[in-house]
Amino acid sequence: MKKYLNLFDFKQKVDYKTEILSGLTVALALVPEAIAFALIPGFSPLTGLYAAFILCLVTSILGGRPGMISGATGAVAVIFVGLILELKRNFPEIEPETILNYVFATVILAGVLQILAGVLRLGKFIRLVPHPVMFGFVNGLAIIIFMAQFPNFYQKGTDDLLTGSSMFMMLGLTLLTMIIIWGLPKLTKAVPSSLVAILVVSAIVIGFGVDTLTVADTMREGESIKGGFPPLSIPQLPFTWETFKIIIPYAGIVAGVGLIESLLTLNIIDEITDTRGSGNKECVAQGTANIMSGFLSGMGGCAMIGQSLINTSSGARARLSGITAAVMLLVFIMFGSSLIERLPMAALVGLMFMVAIGTFEWASFRTFGKMPKSDVVVMVLVTLITAITHNLAVAVLLGVIISALAYSWENAKRIRARKHIDDNGVKHYEIYGPLFFGSTALFSEKFDIPNDPEEVIIDFKESRVADMSGIEALNKITERYAKAGKKVHLRHLSKDCIQLLDNAEDIIDVNVMEDPTYKIAVDKVRKKESSEKNPFKLWGL
């Protein structure tokens, strides 16, 4: 509990100028992203902006990774499209306000699930994500960020590209932004280059009255980012099982996608800053932020890798930058909407292009031909699934599953047996490699039961029985030797393996000094009594 209450590390040296300027830059970058993500499911811009403010503020204060930025995200926004379609199928006459109530209730329930994940310390399971999956995840997100900027090169409300001077102006201002972001740090790092680029390009556009796409042009007619403090929004829904049946699946998906994206982003920022954040603490913070977002008219969200990289690349390392970004975003909403709406999209597009370029793991291309083929396949597959479907949870889970299967296949081929007959005519099988579900078939092929002598010793000193399939393989081998009228001894098995074997006392030599003490992963086990077999019995191992 103490580490959850210890919000700020006062021993950390904080560069206040860098933190505040970086937070301002992030706030400017959050505006178009929040608006765009709110429009995906058809919400008002303020629904996305309120979510960005609440998530950024709460996770910056309570989160497990100082410097990481959270807000409304496309991965979560896409989920609400499915929820809205289902609501319209079930309730054809449903009102927009009622739809929002379902959305807010879903966000709140997702937050509860995320807090539960943190309390149960499930954040540690992110360590199971292999490095090729991380590469694929990052590359896929970089492609998503890059491709998401292309709609800004179309004429407003059409599918036609900008033409003539409009296109050249958009391209020129975007390129100027990218050049400033790339070149300024080579001259000075006194101020974040991203902020300077936005201010310079905005000054050119506003000062000279350049006709180009602005933030206001990305919104629907009659909409504005002007608003007050996020209003209270207690979901007005019937507290029934029917309501829960609708929102529970979507809440689970929101919680899962949000945690996966947040924890993977946390790992990436850890590597960049050469520090270590707390995954479980971040789970609790994300959950708390989503609950507050649902009660304060926000659409929910999770960590944002693009804005997090803007923040860290600007030099921010403390919580102050995220808090500043959130406060400035609220200031824009309440007092600076008219100015923010005049910002040129070219400046923000150029900034996000540079984020995408910096996010992409270009080093992953050098792994081709050096990494195992299975790792390369996993990396490419996760990249493609992430980029095409925008479903980060499915991409990561598929990557983990394929990596696990490839690992199991490789380890299944490693089991082998060294054989020799001692002076007493006893044949020894010295087993090497893990015995688990993938290697049981190859393990069984090692034994020449018809031609073996009357007594056989199978030694597991250099092996390990990993699961119930391994135990079952041992039972079958001992049964085959018994049917052949031959005696077999099993040596160097762990105590839990001995307990799980049928007729263990007759076939196992126990060596207390040398037998391993590892635990075997098992859920069910059979025991024999005479020739009758009892039902499966649970063991509390």
User: Which of 452, 462, 464 lies closest to 428, judged by CA?
Assistant: 452
Please state the φ and ψ torsions of residue 191, each to the nearest 5 degrees. Answer: -130, 150
Angle at CA of residue 454, ends 450 and 458, nearest 5°: 85
Distance CA 247, CA 100 (A): 12
Stretches where the chain sits below pLDDT 50 are 1-6, 512-513, 524-541
Pairing of strands 537-538, 524-525: antiparallel
Distance CA 20, CA 4 (A): 25
- Collapsed DSSP state (helix, strand, coil) of residue 437: coil
Question: Which residues have C-beta within 8 Å of that of residue 427, sequence separation ≥ 6?
Answer: 419, 420, 421, 452, 453, 455, 456, 457
User: Which of 260, 239, 302, 288 lies closest to 52, judged by CA?
Assistant: 302
Prediction pTM value: 0.75
Tell me what pLDDT residue 508 has: 61
Name the DSSP class of 539.
Answer: -
Distance CA 299, CA 38 (A): 8
Beta strands, E only, 370-446: 416-421, 427-435
Tell me what pLDDT residue 99 has: 94
Contact 39, 25 (CB under 8 A): no
| Max CA pair span of the chain | 100
